[in-house]
Structure 1
Amino acid sequence: MTSTVPDKAGLHILLKLASLVVILAGIHAAADIIVQLLMALFFAIILNPLVRWFIRRGLSRPVAITIVVVVMLCVLTALVGVLAASINEFIAMMPKYNKELTRKLIDIQETLPFLHLRMSPERLLQRMDSDKMMAFATTMMAGLSGAMASILLLMMTVVFMLFEVRHVPYKLRFALAQPQIHIAGLHRALKGVSHYLALKTLLSLWTGAIVWLGLALLDIQFALMWGVLAFLLNYVPNIGAVLSAIPPMIQAFLFNGYYECLMVGALFFAVHMVLGNIVEPRMMGHRLGMSTLVVFLSLLIWGWLLGPVGMLLSVPLTSVCKIWMETTTGGSKMAILLGPGRPKSRLPG
């Protein structure tokens, strides 16, 4: 009689793992539509506090939503237009990048012969095929144009979400079996995620603006484009700051010099140290309650499932999953594994 208990437990675990695989495969297969919904939800969470602010000033909800969405649409359109012009100019300079990179590497070979690099200009030019780089850059440009075409659909979805948000608690109260528990968990998840996204967006704007101004003062070309890249990659935990620093450092190394390259690296390092390691922890605290390992793994998993958008939103998505697990009987132990560890009051010493 006792031998069947472990078999049932093992079968139960296998069923859970099989269900998880099916869910992840479904998310990966439906990534296109899920990414659109997540982006709309992201903007709705960011814009909803502004809508509430206008409502408290005496405006009706339709008027408040119209003002916020029109301003947001104008800002996005202007930003995409400026980025499109910068990327188009960047594409035109790709052959020049190849030649400068080849020349710099040959100079390094001649300056440091003990490295035995043994590089020939012909082989370097063959490996750094400008046609492939141009094709990659053109693909990026086409993706940016596609994003511009879908902004209208995205904004329409955001508008409907902003109108629907006030009815969500009423619907959940009658739709859920245990509304008190689930609504409390949903409220905690939305509060934590909205707080995270709002502060992260503010810090990312500061990061992008400081990088843009710093690169402009250093006379680095495409400073606005690298500032926007720093703004976007600041949402990516752990590795976003490093990834955003690499392209402008390479450009400064090729077209400005060694000193400017070091200055660009110092600029990104200072911004990351001040905003990322001092300001951000003080403003955010530990509201999302996840360990550093879980944050990094969530970056990889959501990036594989949903692509770049999954990487940008990996932390809030994992936080919502963790809080949802805390409200279920079977997922409470898994939520503990995703947490940062034992509370400080329980630690020895």
Structure 2
Amino acid sequence: MNITGQPGLTPALRILLLTAGAVVTLWGMSTYAAYINSAILAVMIVLACDPLVGWLRRRRLPNWVVLLCALLVSVLALVAFAGFLVYSAAQFAQALPAYQQQAQALVQNVQAWLQGFGLDAAGSDAVAAQTDTATALNWVEALLKSLIGILGSGVTLAMLMIFLFVDVVLFPGRLTWQARHVSAYAGRLLDFTGGLRQYIVVMVIIGTFVGGLNTVLFFVTGVDLPLLWGVLSGLLNFIPFIGFWFGLIPPAVLALLEFGPQRMLLMAAGYILINATVQNLIQPRLVVVRLNLTPFMSLISATFWPLVLGPVGAIIGVPLTMAVQNLPLDVDPSTRWLAPMMSTASGEKGESLAEEGSA
């Protein structure tokens, strides 16, 4: 039943009902965020493995072999990634006290430098006393613990992945048949799934490429734990716009503490050059057109969904916004006018969608 299309409902009442429904939906998602995060992560992993599944099928292997290989590769990758996170978190926690001491020494040097210009020593002491020297690095430890906790719910994640792989491998044409013979909505879902699959595969490739280059940069400049910061920068590449800066802060702080401002500026310049080149020249050509989301909506996705689903919402925010745009909004005539406002569609396509929604 389409509530917004019922006669006798005023526009104000329709907006009120839609708002109430959205609030209840978001509250439910926030309440069951742990399960929802696992489910969405399982979907993203299965879609990321689609090139492997296609390659195995082209070799005319039996379905059970394709299913077993896809499951084995994905599970081994998850176990290796979880082990790497645990090891890196332990290393980082062990080194954190030393970083705090270096930060305190840096603050004292800055105080002495300011006092050399005749500035108030008491004022600089008060500022230093109120400064938490670990603030710039504590969020990294929190992020690692959050990722470990998500991967730690391995039973739920593994079960979801198994059944999703079974559907993808053993029943590949079911949704296509539904789209052709039964429901136009199934066709919309099929198109959305294809676009989401392309987005995830491209982002995994770009994240791996950027993470590899950043790891080499961190290693050459002598920053501690270069592999950790490289992997983190590749993972944060899923967060549009602000993920770039989140990936820069921890290694920049460590470079400043260990080697001083010159090495930090050198490392930051290389990081900005690598990431800006990829994000401004390569990524827009591969991702934005397929996303069909405006930069503003991409940024809103990265900041809104973490409020609902926790830190993981920043990584899965763009796919969730794509789902909202392509499925409920673009299908319902009463809300179809909102879809062009969220997308990069212009010209006749955007005008036609807006006219259909207002009709």
Shorter-chain TM-score above 0.5 = yes
Paired residues of 1:326 and 1:335 also in contact (CA < 8 A): yes
Distance 1:261 1:134, change over 3 A: closer
Q: Does residue 269 in structure 1 map to residue 272 in structure 2?
A: yes
Q: Which of 294, 298, 301 lines up with 1:295 in the alignment? A: 298
- C-alpha separation in 1, matches of 2:173 and 2:332: 19
Shift of 1:242: 0.4
Give 1:1-349 correspondences, 5 Å limit: 8-113=10-115, 114=117, 118-120=123-125, 124=128, 127-128=131-132, 143=146, 145-165=148-168, 167=171, 170=174, 179-324=182-327, 325-340=329-344, 342-343=346-347
Paired residues of 1:91 and 1:138 also in contact (CA < 8 A): yes
Paired residues of 2:294 and 2:344 also in contact (CA < 8 A): yes
Which runs of no fewer than 5 residues in structure 1 stay unpaired? none
The amino acid that maps onto 2:187 is A
Shift of 1:57: 0.4
Paired residues of 1:181 and 1:327 also in contact (CA < 8 A): no
- C-alpha separation in 2, matches of 1:10 and 1:135: 46
Distance 1:282 1:171, change over 3 A: closer
Q: Would you say how many aligned residue pairs link Structure 1 and Structure 2?
A: 340
Shift of 1:84: 2.1
Shift of 1:289: 1.4
- C-alpha separation in 2, matches of 1:192 and 1:171: 15
- C-alpha separation in 2, matches of 1:126 and 1:112: 17
The amino acid that maps onto 2:46 is A
- C-alpha separation in 1, matches of 2:278 and 2:141: 34
Shift of 1:89: 2.0
Shift of 1:41: 0.6
Distance 1:126 1:336, change over 3 A: closer
The amino acid that maps onto 1:343 is G
Shift of 1:146: 3.6
Distance 1:20 1:50, change over 3 A: same
The amino acid that maps onto 1:263 is L
Paired residues of 2:212 and 2:230 also in contact (CA < 8 A): yes
**SS in structure 1 of the partner of residue 43 of structure 2:** helix
- C-alpha separation in 1, matches of 2:30 and 2:213: 36
- C-alpha separation in 1, matches of 2:222 and 2:15: 59
Shift of 1:285: 4.7
Shift of 1:126: 7.3
The alignment's C-alpha RMSD in Å is: 3.1
Distance 1:96 1:285, change over 3 A: closer
State TM-score, norm by structure 1: 0.86
State TM-score, norm by structure 2: 0.84
Paired residues of 1:245 and 1:268 also in contact (CA < 8 A): yes
- C-alpha separation in 2, matches of 1:199 and 1:331: 30
**SS in structure 1 of the partner of residue 49 of structure 2:** helix
Q: Percent of aligned positions with the same letter in both sequences? A: 24
Distance 1:345 1:116, change over 3 A: farther
Shift of 1:65: 2.2
- C-alpha separation in 2, matches of 1:158 and 1:96: 41
- C-alpha separation in 1, matches of 2:150 and 2:342: 34
**SS in structure 1 of the partner of residue 68 of structure 2:** helix
Shift of 1:267: 2.0
- C-alpha separation in 1, matches of 2:191 and 2:207: 24
Shift of 1:56: 1.5
- C-alpha separation in 2, matches of 1:160 and 1:244: 34
Which runs of no fewer than 5 residues in structure 2 stay unpaired? 1-6, 352-359
- C-alpha separation in 2, matches of 1:10 and 1:136: 43
Shift of 1:7: 7.0
Distance 1:33 1:285, change over 3 A: closer
